[in-house]
Amino acid sequence: MPPVPNANLSQPTLSTPQASTHRAALSVVTTLFFMWGFLTCLNDILVPHLKAIFDLNYAQVMLIQFAFFSAYFIFSIPSAKVIDWIGYQKTMVLGLFVMALGAVLFIPAASVPSFPLFLGALMVLAAGITALQVAANPYVSVLGPARTASSRLNLTQAFNSLGTFLAPWFGKALILSTAALSIAEMRLLSPDALQAYRQHEAATVKLPYLGLAVALLVLGIVIGRFNLPAMPAAQHRVGDKSAGSVWQYRHLVLGAVGIFVYVGAEVAIGSFLVNYFSQSNIGNVSEKVAAGFVSYYWLSAMVGRFAGSAILQKVRTGLVLGIAALAAASLVCISMLTFGHIALWSIILVGLFNSVMFPSIFTLGIAELGPLTGDGSGMLVMAIVGGAIIPVIQGVLADRIGIHHAFILPVLCYLYIVFYAFKGSKPLKTS
């Protein structure tokens, strides 16, 4: 993977704005974290909804996450170039407008209805989110002292989790609002009746995503009119050999793997929760009721991020990350080895320990990169493609060994993060 041509952050803090300006800017940028968290989590509702409509197996329906998260890999480099051309603030605005376009595309996808068109709309939506991620994560990381970068990212990620907490309730009320037919009942319908049923069920996404498109356009206008502090000027552009290469930094490369497996594990777990909780030996509830339980998974992540923001002011980032990853791996194992309420609530509590992982891995990964910080942050954002690949692999496992035991894959992901936290994250230039 080549270095990402991102705008480069040469200083640990912004040079001129006062603390009050930093706080105002942080508040505005935090709204972006909320919006992309909300829209990303709606995928967890789309998975069971579209699975039923189009009669898909687990591997096929995980193409939803594959389409969405592959956009991070495809569009990270173009987003970084856009930042170089027009700056961070305008890139955030552009990202919001692209997200609005993606949300609007859900309307023709539902009208047909067509699963490939839904996947295309998701990729456009995710392209906009990618631009926000490439711009907002490093922006927040330098919006204050370097020693509290993890804490600031945890705080903004807490509002990301607020979005993920509210999204399942939104989806439950508006997208899963009708009583869906079972797969067996659908297969008894005539072709015309089946097409009419699919159009009726798919239509439930139209109004929610149209409303979200309007909200994104309004937010883009507001962000565009706000006077955000400028980032430090880049000390080198892409191709400046004097700055070296991001591949020289072992902790960054291993951190990219950490982001890959973390996002993959989190997305894989969230994607399967509605179907998992619907299992007779786990929650034995309808998909609509299960969607409410999914919100508790994200609520625990929000609580963890607020708590983590305070803890990381006092405790070393690597130690917090390692303990959290060990706890998450243990809870997934408990869920795999049990049934009923124990299996249900143990997997929900994984969200509490997921909470600190992304911002912790991110800040550990870009530590001590100097003028290569921007390139390093772009590399880490590209690694979010793990959310495209790992859920598909888990889908294949679920089709072969069952949804219950397929959670072994996230366990392996968390064990890698334990290694990174305690050993792999130590800054070391390899050449």
Q: What is the pLDDT of residue 6?
A: 38
**3-state SS assignment for residue 249:** strand
Distance CA 187, CA 174 (A): 25
- Other CB atoms within 10 A of residue 179 CB: 8
Residue 1 has pLDDT above 60, yes or no: no
The reply to whether 11 falls in a domain is no
In degrees, rounded to 5, the angle at the alpha carbon of residue 419 between the alpha carbons of residues 156 and 412 is 85
Please give the residue that has the higher pLDDT: either 223 or 148.
223
Cβ-Cβ contacts under 8 Å for 176 (sequence gap 6 or more): 45, 48, 49, 204, 287, 288, 291
CATH code at position 63: 1.20.1250.20
pLDDT digits (tens, 9 = 90+) for 36-65: 889 988 888 888 888 888 888 888 988 998
Arithmetic mean of pLDDT over the chain: 83
Distance CA 305, CA 288 (A): 27
- Other CB atoms within 10 A of residue 420 CB: 27
Rounded to two decimals, what is the model's pTM? Answer: 0.75
The structural domain count of the chain equals 1
Residue 397 has pLDDT above 60, yes or no: yes
Distance CA 213, CA 124 (A): 12
Q: What is the pLDDT of residue 256?
A: 94
The reply to whether 115 falls in a domain is yes
The reply to whether 3 falls in a domain is no
Alpha-carbon distance values, 49 to 271, 274, 325, 363, 397 (Å): 11, 10, 31, 36, 20
**3-state SS assignment for residue 74:** helix
The reply to whether 364 falls in a domain is yes
Asked whether the beta carbons of 64 and 43 are under 8 A apart, the reply is: yes
Share of the chain above pLDDT 90, in %: 34
The tokens describing 56, both together, are: 């898909």
Lowest mean pLDDT: which of 106-110, 189-193, 390-394? Answer: 189-193
The CA-based diameter of the chain, rounded to the nearest angstrom, is 68
**3-state SS assignment for residue 180:** coil
The single-letter DSSP state of residue 429 is B
The reply to whether 332 falls in a domain is yes
The reply to whether 4 falls in a domain is no
Mean pLDDT, to the nearest integer, of 72-81? 85
Q: What is the pLDDT of residue 345?
A: 94
The reply to whether 274 falls in a domain is yes
Phi, psi angle pair for 400, to nearest 5°: -100, -40
Distance CA 231, CA 252 (A): 22
Cβ-Cβ contacts under 8 Å for 114 (sequence gap 6 or more): none
Q: DSSP alpha helices (H): ranges in 175-286?
A: 183-186, 191-202, 206-225, 250-278
Please give the residue that has the higher pLDDT: either 181 or 105.
105
The reply to whether 367 falls in a domain is yes
pLDDT digits (tens, 9 = 90+) for 143-189: 666 666 666 766 777 787 788 888 888 887 878 766 667 667 777 78
Q: What is the pLDDT of residue 240?
A: 45
User: Which residue segment(s) compose the domain that 406 sits in?
Assistant: 19-229+244-424
Q: What is the pLDDT of residue 311?
A: 86
Mean pLDDT, to the nearest integer, of 225-252? 64
Cβ-Cβ contacts under 8 Å for 116 (sequence gap 6 or more): none
